């Protein structure tokens, strides 16, 4: 089991906590996952430290984690953690571990990651081409992943649609700004041409030019 969240979920089931936390290296990874998850939930440093201390007690079956479960079902699991939180409610600060356990066990299990991997590898490893070396399959899959990410096709469809809408709006705004700039330039050129003609006419006729506010003698 290489999914850190799945390891944490198994550990937070009282029937499997000893199996999930053996050996010690596995338990260290579980503690690290729980600490990062609790910190990402805007918990303070003291709350994270309290969570890790409660995990140590829970692993050993110490107080207040002494309850038993009647069966392995989710309803019994919720009752277990709710009973622990209720029991410890009058002893001071609320416990951190029951709250984390309820969040973790509310996550719906799925097989999206392996299904995605099978789909990607199946692009090369087909029923007719099934004797590829492991190194060859890994190399070709890595290359395909690189070009897929580079092309942006891995971006979720709603995100791509939003990006396309924003890009069209930006292009439209740029075109409008360009049209306004061109109109300003054309108007400036027309005004300059009129002024040049007026100056040349004034020079020939030696008349007063109202736009200049000067009198040519």
DSSP H helices in 67-111: 74-87, 97-105
Q: Is residue 94 over pLDDT 70?
A: yes
Report cis status (omega within 30 of 0) of the bond before 64.
Answer: yes
Average pLDDT, the chain: 76
Give the residue, 92 or 82, on which the prediction is more confident. Answer: 82
- pLDDT band (50, 70, 90) for residue 53: very high
The pLDDT value recorded for residue 24 is 82
Q: What pLDDT digit, counting tens, does each position of 61-85 carry?
A: 888 887 666 665 556 788 888 888 7
Residue 170 CA: distances (Å) to CA of 51, 157, 163, 164, 175:
48, 20, 10, 10, 9
Whose tokens are 């580079």? That residue is: 150
The pLDDT value recorded for residue 216 is 44
**Cα separation of 85 and 87, whole Å?**
6
Q: What pLDDT digit, counting tens, does each position of 9-46 carry?
A: 889 888 888 888 788 888 889 999 999 999 888 899 89
Q: What pLDDT digit, counting tens, does each position of 161-191 carry?
A: 676 777 777 778 778 777 787 777 787 777 7
The pLDDT value recorded for residue 34 is 92
C-alpha angle 194-200-204 in degrees, rounded to nearest 5: 140
Taking phi over 0 as left and psi of -120 to 50 as alpha, with beta for the rest, 213 belongs to: left
Contact 33, 11 (CB under 8 A): no
In this structure, how many other beta carbons lie within 10 angstroms of the beta carbon of residue 105?
14
Listed residue (211, 214, 213) closest to 195, CA to CA = 211
Q: Is residue 200 over pLDDT 80?
A: no
pTM of the model: 0.50
Question: Would you tell me the crossing angle of helices 45-60 and 97-105 to the nearest 10 degrees?
Answer: 80
């Amino acid at each position: 089991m290489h999914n850190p969240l799945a390891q944490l979920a198994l550990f937070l089931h009282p029937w499997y906590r000893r199996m999930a936390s053996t050996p010690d290296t596995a338990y260290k990874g579980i503690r690290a996952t729980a600490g990062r998850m609790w910190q990402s939930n805007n918990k303070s440093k003291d709350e994270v430290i309290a969570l890790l201390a409660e995990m140590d007690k829970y692993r050993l079956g110490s107080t207040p984690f002494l309850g038993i479960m009647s069966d392995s079902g989710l309803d019994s699991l919720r009752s277990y953690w709710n009973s622990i939180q209720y029991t410890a409610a009058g002893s001071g600060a609320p416990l951190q571990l029951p709250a984390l356990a309820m969040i973790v066990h509310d996550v719906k299990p799925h097989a999206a990651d392996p299904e995605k991997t099978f789909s990607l590898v199946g692009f090369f490893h087909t029923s007719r081409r099934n004797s590829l070396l492991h190194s060859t399959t890994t190399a070709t899959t890595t290359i395909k992943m690189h070009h897929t990410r580079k092309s942006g096709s891995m971006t979720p469809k709603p995100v791509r649609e939003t990006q396309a809408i924003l890009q069209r709006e930006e292009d439209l705004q740029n075109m409008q700004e360009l049209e306004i700039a061109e109109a300003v330039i054309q108007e400036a050129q027309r005004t300059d041409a009129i002024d040049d003609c007026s100056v040349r006419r004034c020079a020939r006729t030696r008349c007063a030019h109202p736009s200049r506010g000067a009198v040519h003698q």
